[in-house]
Amino acid sequence: ASERVTNFSAGPSALPPSVLEEATAGLLNFAGSGIGIAEISHRSKEFLAFLEETEKEIREQLDVPSTHKILFTQGGGTGQFSAVVMNMLARHALLYPNLGVAGSERTLDYVLTGSWSAAAVKEANRLTANLPGVRVNVAADARAYSKDGTSYEGIPPHEAYTFTNNPALIYYCENETVNGVQFSKPTTTSDDQPETDQTAFPFHLLPKGQLLPLVADFSSSFMSRPIPRLADHAIIYAGAQKNIGPAGLTILIVRQDCIVDVDAAAKLGALPVPAVLSYKYIADGKSVPNTPPVFSVYVAGLVLKRMRSLGGPEKFEEVNERKKKSVYEAVGEGEKRGVFRGKVDEKRGGSWMNVVFEVVGDGAEGRFLKGAEERGMKGLKGHRSVGGIRASLYNAVTEEETGKLVQYMREFIESET
């Protein structure tokens, strides 16, 4: 393993070497069963016990209350772009069967902060295009607050938001992996006090007097720090392939009132829901109604156990905060010297997980990437849609490795000026 490089990839991304070694042993013999993890039945007592422990790790480390179930499924974030629409429309149809007819509307509120929330809006529009009375509402559009009016450069201020009265869902993406834009942690825990941090999600502006249909995509920040106000969410979901495991596993935290009889709702005009996307199907089958991604669950479980032994999300939060600060600082130094240009200001919602910046000048980006690679650092090229550099600082990227990047950024500034 000595030829391993430092991997700053946005996902799939680095995993802790100690876990990969454990998983290697598990591929040959899982939990003393004499059968490897990729070969064992998902209904074996060994695997079902492991699944239960993994669920418990998430519940305890994130303080998930008993009002919410933790479910494991497949299909990634993209699967959830569809599933949240279908399940939440079904819930709404059962609660309010008369909406969407006789001129009334059933709405879906989306907060747009980057390309992943935009992809979710696109899927909501596609699925509901022919449903009478259903409207997808963009509740806030961060692009209106960018320099050129078309880019995602930060979290919009609270004045930007207009939620509808009784939406079927309210959707946001907590961390925009491509654009490097992330909501700050909420500073207030109750709606009586307005949120003062303009880059925190405006819980105080949400419709009152109902169980909030609040849905959040945590794909690229899940387990990187505690989730305050978790209990105020209807659904939190995340693909595993950033902070906690291999691709293939999707984790859902679902409030129980959002696990509904989708077939009864379909009779009322809601969309029919494929079984694998139905939260009720997954919950009734205790996350194994069909074959789950056994190996991905295994690695994620090992990562979560290791996380707890190292101090859990609170500890990772401290480390992740120091990591991102040091990289933004180096970007700032490069900015002053005309070498780097930050795409997102740390104070306007600069992501802790994905720091996105440009290298200024002819061929400079190529020189930066080449130098990084020569020093054993890979995965720094920005997403093809925004270009530039993206340094992903997920949990498995250590402070030492981050320090190596920061030191290289400083050397690069010197060599370019």
Catalytic residue IDs? 116, 217, 242
Smaller CB separation from ligand PMP, 13 or 107:
13
Interacting stretch for ligand PMP, rule CB under 6 A, among 45-53, 74-82, 96-104, 160-168? Answer: 74-82
Strands 214-217 and 169-173: parallel
139: amino acid identity, one letter: A
CB of 111 vs ligand PMP, minimal distance in Å: 13
- Tell me whether residue 217 or residue 346 sits nearer to ligand PMP (CB atom): 217
Q: How far is the CB of 322 from ligand PMP (least distance, A)?
A: 23
Burial 109-128 (b: 16+ CB within 10 A, else e): bbbbbbbbbbbbbebbeebb
Q: In what order do the strands lie in the sheet with 340-342?
A: 340-342, 354-359, 389-392
CB of 407 to ligand PMP, least distance (A): 28
Q: Which of 154, 239, 313, 342 binds ligand PMP (CB under 6 A)?
A: 239
Among 57, 109, 217, 346, binds ligand PMP (CB under 6 A): 217
C-alpha atoms less than 13 angstroms from C-alpha of 290 in its C-beta half-sphere: 7
> Given the complex with ligand PMP, which of 237 and 408 has the nearer CB atom?
237
> Is 261 strand, coil or helix?
coil
Using rule CB under 6 A, residue 296 touches ligand PMP: no
CA dist 324 and 45 (Å) reads: 41
CB of 186 to ligand PMP, least distance (A): 19
Which parts of 158-177 interact with ligand PMP (CB under 6 A)? 173, 177
* Site for ligand PMP contains 354 (CB under 6 A): no
**Residue from 6, 11, 111, 409 binding ligand PMP (CB under 6 A):** 11
* Segment interacting with ligand PMP (CB under 6 A) among 49-57, 129-137, 150-158, 212-220: 212-220
Distances (CA, A) of 37 to 26, 34, 61, 166, 282: 6, 10, 25, 46, 22
Pair 111, 215: CB distance under 8 Å: no
Query: Read out DSSP for 275-311?
Result: GGG-HHHHHHTTT-SS---HHHHHHHHHHHHHHHHTT
Name residues contacting ligand PMP, limited to 75-134 (CB under 6 A): 76-78, 116
**Binders of ligand PMP among 378-397, rule CB under 6 A?**
none
- The residue (of 128 and 179) whose beta carbon lies closer to ligand PMP is 179
293 contributes a contact to ligand PMP by CB under 6 A: no
Provide, rounded to whole angstroms, the least separation between the CB of residue 232 and ligand PMP.
20
Query: Before 12, cis peptide (omega within 30)?
Result: yes
The least CB distance from residue 257 to ligand PMP, in Å, is 24
Q: Report the nearest approach of ligand PMP to the CB of residue 165 (Å).
A: 28
Selected range binding ligand PMP among 103-111, 157-165, 217-225, 336-344, rule: CB under 6 A: 217-225
CA angle 99, 105, 106 (to 5 degrees): 70
C-alpha of 232 from chain center: 17
> What minimum distance in Å lies between the beta carbon of 392 and ligand PMP?
10
Instruction: Determine if 327 is a binding residue for ligand PMP (CB under 6 A).
Output: no
CA nearest 348: which of 224, 184, 216? 184
Q: What is the DSSP string of 112-139?
A: E-SHHHHHHHHHHHHHHTTSTTEEEEEE
Stretch that binds ligand PMP, among 87-95, 215-223, 274-282, 311-319 (CB under 6 A): 215-223
248 binds ligand PMP (CB under 6 A): no
CA 186/CA 199 separation, integer angstroms: 9
User: What 3-state DSSP class applies to 169?
Assistant: strand
Are the C-beta atoms of 237 and 250 separated by less than 8 Å?
yes
Using CB under 6 A as the binding criterion, the count of chain residues that bind ligand PMP stands at: 11
Q: Does 33 bind ligand PMP (CB under 6 A)?
A: no
- Kindly indicate which of the ranges 213-221, 222-230, 255-263, 382-390 contains the residues binding ligand PMP, using the contact rule CB under 6 A: 213-221
Reduced to 3 states, what is the DSSP secondary structure of residue 390? strand
Nearest residue (CB) to ligand PMP, 9 versus 340: 9
End-to-end C-alpha distance for the chain, whole angstroms: 37
CB-nearer residue toward ligand PMP: 181 or 406: 181
Q: Does 9 bind ligand PMP (CB under 6 A)?
A: no
Quickly count: other Cβ atoms within 10 Å of residue 143's Cβ. Answer: 16
Footprint of ligand PMP (CB under 6 A): 11, 76-78, 116, 173, 177, 217, 219-220, 239
